[in-house]
Each structure stands twice: as C-alpha cells, then as structure tokens.
Amino acid sequence: MTDTELTFTDNFGSLLVIMPSVVNKLLSYRQIDSLNNESAGVLIGERRESHIVVHEISEPGEGDIRRRCFVDRRGPQHQAAVDEAFARSSGTLQYLGEWHTHPEDQPTPSAMDLGTWRRNLAAQDPMVLLIIGRKDIWAAKKIIERIVPLFRV
C-alpha cells in the first residue's frame, strides 16, 4: 500500500496526478500470477488548467470479457461510475480516460490498444491512457489524434 500519489508529466510541464487510493486499486489488479486475467476500467477525476488529477476509477465486474491477454470492459458499472461521480460532484469529476493491465513487467500498448484508442476515444480535451504492468505503469495522453507518452516525475 502506498500513501503517496503518482505523478507524470509531458514535455510542457502539464502534470498527471494519480491519487494514492487510485494507485493502490490499480496495483491490486497487477497480473502477478500466471492465472490473472487482464482488468480494465475508466479513470475519473478533474482537470485543473492543463493538469489532470485522477481521483477514482471503475473496476472490473460482471459483463466484462477478461482473458490473459485481452480485456473488453463491457460491464455497465463503468459508465455508472462516471455518471454517479459527475452527479455527486456537480460536474467536477469527469471521465478522463482508460486503464487496463498487461501481463508484462514493462508494459507497452499493443497494436490493438492503439487501434481501439484511435477509434473509440474521441474528445477535444486530452484523454489519459494507463497500462498497469507487473513492475511499471505506462502513461500517455491522447491529444486529438496523437498519443503522447508521459514521464514519471
């Protein structure tokens, strides 16, 4: 368990801050054991000028399709979590992007990941992409059509 947030930056100093409670949840889904399937969910939080703070996530549940090297988050709980947080916070907490796990130490996006994000993650604001590996977390922002990797601070 950690009580510190995880911070990433782009080349222009725009930060991505992941709150400790979220870090702990994400790490709990790491595919450490060879039987663990991939997990996925959405990222929920706030935008502060050019910075992004992730406060909550949705987690795997019924309706999701989960395999060792594949996940499709089809369960209704993901959209429900976004709607509930948005209403509770009067719109401050919003859908910010996607997370999923990979069964590799240093995760990198698969061709399927890149294709899915290009097709399905259309937004004017930068959207956050996280892949939770066994030893590291890969983070990026999708800015219009470009996927821009972020660096740990």
| Nearer CB in complex with Zn ion: 59/113 | 113
Q: According to CB under 5 A, which one of 29, 113, 137, 142 is a site residue for Zn ion?
A: 113
User: Minimum Å distance from CB 38 to Zn ion?
Assistant: 7
User: Minimum Å distance from CB 132 to Zn ion?
Assistant: 10
Burial pattern 22-34, b for ≥16 Cβ within 10 A else e, equals bbebbeebbbeee
| Nearer CB in complex with Zn ion: 39/85 | 39
| Nearer CB in complex with Zn ion: 5/72 | 72
> Rg of the chain over CA atoms, in angstroms?
14
Size of interface with Zn ion, in residues (CB under 5 A): 2
Residue 56 among the catalytic residues: no
- The residue sitting closest to Zn ion, measured at its beta carbon, is 113
User: Minimum Å distance from CB 121 to Zn ion?
Assistant: 13
Piece of 21-29, 43-51, 58-66, 103-111 that binds Zn ion (CB under 5 A): 103-111
Beta carbons within 8 Å of 126's beta carbon, 6+ residues apart: 14, 52, 141, 142, 143
Token readout for 83 is: 């709607």
Bridge partners, residue 45, by sequence: 54, 94
Token readout for 60 is: 């795997």
CB distance 141 to 148 below 8 Å: yes
Q: Which residues are catalytic?
A: 38
| Binding region for Zn ion (CB under 5 A) | 110, 113
